[in-house]
Amino acid sequence: TWHTTYYSLATKNPVSILNLKNDCAISRDFLGSADIDYKVHGFEDLRLHVTAGIDIAKGRQLTDVDPASPQAIYYGSYGWESQLKRNMQLSAYAQYYHDFNDKAKNHFDIMAGYEWAHFWHNTHNSYWSYFPKTNADASIAGKERNRTKYDFATENYLVSFFGRANWSLMDGRYMVTATVRDDGSSRFRDHWAVFPSFAFAWRMNEENMFKKINWLSDLKLRLSWGMTGQQEGIGDYNYFAVYEMNTGVGSYYPVYGDGTLARPKAYDPSLKWETTTSYNVGLDWGILKQRLSGTIDWYYRKTNDLLNSATVSAGSNFRNQVMSNIGSMYNTGVEASIHWLAINTKDFNWTMDYNFTYNYNKITNLNGGNDADYFVPTGGISAGTGGNIQAQHVGNTVNSFHVFQQVYDKNGKPIEGVVVDRNGDGKITDADKYYYKAPAAPVTMGFASRFEYHSWDLGFALRASIGNYVYNDAFASTANMSNSELFSKSKYLVNRPTEVLADNWLSTETKSIQTDYWVQNASFLKLDNITLGYSFANILKQGTWNGISGRVYGTVNNVFCITKYKGLDPEVFNGIDNNLYPRPISFILGLNLNF
């Protein structure tokens, strides 16, 4: 028998994985909702509305992996996991609306309401491995080797009081909206925060000066200001001490009892709402009876009390990172869209849609300090000995890459382990790193078109991202081509991209891995989908029955991608690419029938 096979990222036999693993799962879901809408008798301008909903889901899975499986070679495994989720929501509001039959054609409505939501779930699991029945030691053959278990439960509440008032004048020529929310979250010590907003719209084409312009069919000015809060993705108990039991091999301490130890998790007692204040100026337009129309918007969004994991001093909070309000940032940019009805005849229609976005963001403040040397590391990588490749730093874009500057030879080939001494002190340290590019694209575009000819239709959607950069972790982590690496039993079967062979590097030390050489331009143009369809009607029509109508169609998704990026896919979340498999192309054949 064999003992262990190393490096789980090596290619595995997919047929063997399926044949030697048995999964049995069952889940039950219940969704329920109820709505009550009531207009007060004798006072029909007042409307009362109540909505209640519940979502309960329960699941259990058993997993049995044979010892010979590539997923658990030598030691098989068996275990179970169960989950229970229970979400409940309640919303109630009263709305008063009234049309004034005066010359100004006033319309007014006001709404006030209450929302309550409770989100709860728990998880229980237990897994253990066992020795193969072929083990040479008969006393342990086929017996349990070790067992781990895990129990977890969490919940959070979100309660809101809200109000909204709308007023329109001159039959909607001028419109004003004001809203306010008072939101309370169980995820913060100071639960409550107030978020107001205001909006104004002016249909300029209704003014006499514009009515004379025959080719102008729509012109609307929009102004808005508002505040919103963010409390998602931070966990439920990060503002007070929560104790958890150590689990798993190596987690036991020589203490009285079963050896487990309850330890506090990291927490920040001052954790509070992340708040974004937005300013927006927009213009909607249309000409030639809306054959050509579009929108253009300028926005500025200032975010304070950013929620993010931050590094803390050793020994100060039982963990090396804690969820905190780390600072402030802003986004500003322009969004524009155009819709063109190019051809509109009885037999043939052709429409085109184009959108464009430019966005710039910058960190303006960090609570830990605004000096040039202070930053908040983020963006973990697997290359080398691990670490972080991104950082939040005042004056730079969010999630900027924090790297050494690579040195190249006269032929443009990177020299292994040679980087620029940017501060000129004669030593290469982390102080020589600089902020280089970011994963968020400053420019994004989209283009879609649809053709209709008699019963046929053809449509496609293109999407472009310009200026986004990606750290190629998949390449950097396999760059070491030394004999000790290639012929190590733990790395012999590693899939290595052919791109790294030409570099012929012999180590994965920090100076080689954390450089701008691995930060690559990931701009792309993608054809997301293309669809061809045929519609039909009145098949098998008899008498007063109109027969069968419907549509048959074929769709291809992820058709092609044009990019200079060397990895498998340039579209990478948060800009760190350790993907080992490409995104698939899918083919869909569909049929819709109406009787």
User: Is residue 2 one of the residues assigned to a domain?
Assistant: yes
Condensed to tens digits (0 to 9), the pLDDT of residues 4-21 reads 455 555 567 778 888 888
User: Is residue 21 one of the residues assigned to a domain?
Assistant: yes
Residue 584 DSSP class:
P
Please state, in angstroms and rounded to a whole number, the distance separating the CA atoms of residues 236 and 225: 30
pLDDT of residue 1: 41
User: Is residue 121 one of the residues assigned to a domain?
Assistant: yes
Say if CB 67 and CB 132 are below 8 A apart. Answer: yes
Same domain, 47 and 185: no
Same domain, 365 and 252: no
Please state, in angstroms and rounded to a whole number, the distance separating the CA atoms of residues 287 and 293: 6
* Amino acid present at 502: A
Residue 323 Cα to chain centre, angstroms: 18
pLDDT of residue 310: 79
Please state, in angstroms and rounded to a whole number, the distance separating the CA atoms of residues 145 and 174: 74
Q: What is the Rg, in whole angstroms, of the alpha carbon atoms belonging to the chain?
A: 30
Same domain, 149 and 177: no
- Boundary of a domain, candidates 95, 121, 153: 153
Same domain, 31 and 102: yes
Say if CB 438 and CB 391 are below 8 A apart. Answer: no
Contacts of 411 (CB under 8 A, 6+ apart): none
Same domain, 61 and 95: yes
- Boundary of a domain, candidates 325, 351, 380: 325
Same domain, 584 and 463: yes
Parallel, antiparallel or unpaired: strands 576-577 and 469-472: parallel
Same domain, 148 and 189: no
Same domain, 147 and 181: no
Please state, in angstroms and rounded to a whole number, the distance separating the CA atoms of residues 145 and 130: 5
User: Is residue 166 one of the residues assigned to a domain?
Assistant: no
Please state, in angstroms and rounded to a whole number, the distance separating the CA atoms of residues 221 and 200: 8
Please state the length of the chain.
595
247 φ/ψ angles, rounded to the nearest 5 degrees: -135, 160
Its domain, for residue 24, covers: 1-153
Q: Between vectors from CA 327 to CA 273 and to CA 265, what angle results, nearest 5°?
A: 65
Residue 433 DSSP class:
-
Number of domains in the chain: 3
- Boundary of a domain, candidates 153, 184, 203: 153
User: Is residue 473 one of the residues assigned to a domain?
Assistant: yes
Same domain, 30 and 117: yes
Same domain, 125 and 179: no
Same domain, 300 and 392: no
pLDDT tens across the length of the chain (595 residues): 444 455 555 567 778 888 888 889 999 999 999 999 999 988 889 999 999 999 999 999 999 888 777 777 677 788 999 999 999 999 999 999 988 877 778 889 999 999 999 999 999 999 888 777 777 777 777 777 777 888 889 999 999 999 999 999 988 899 999 999 999 999 999 999 999 999 999 999 999 889 889 999 999 999 999 999 999 989 898 998 888 776 555 555 555 555 667 777 888 999 999 999 999 999 999 999 999 999 999 999 999 999 988 777 666 656 778 889 989 999 999 999 999 999 999 999 999 999 999 999 999 999 877 788 889 888 989 876 668 999 999 999 999 999 999 999 999 999 998 999 999 999 999 999 999 999 999 999 999 999 999 999 999 999 999 999 999 998 888 887 665 565 554 554 456 677 777 777 877 777 888 999 999 999 999 999 999 999 999 888 888 888 899 999 999 999 999 999 999 999 998 899 988 788 899 999 999 998 8
Please state, in angstroms and rounded to a whole number, the distance separating the CA atoms of residues 181 and 112: 10
SS3 238: coil
Same domain, 1 and 147: yes
CB atoms under 10 Å from CB of 144, counted, come to 11
pLDDT of residue 373: 85
Residue 353 DSSP class:
E
Tell which residue, 533, 529, 593, 514, has the closest CA to residue 561.
529
Token pair belonging to 198: 């205001």
pLDDT of residue 445: 98
pLDDT of residue 20: 86
User: Is residue 551 one of the residues assigned to a domain?
Assistant: yes
User: Is residue 158 one of the residues assigned to a domain?
Assistant: no
Residue 498 DSSP class:
G
Residue 208 Cα to chain centre, angstroms: 47
DSSP assignment of 554-584:
EEEEEEEEEE---SS-S--GGGEE---SPPP
User: Is residue 332 one of the residues assigned to a domain?
Assistant: no
SS3 42: coil
pLDDT of residue 2: 46
Say if CB 263 and CB 242 are below 8 A apart. Answer: no
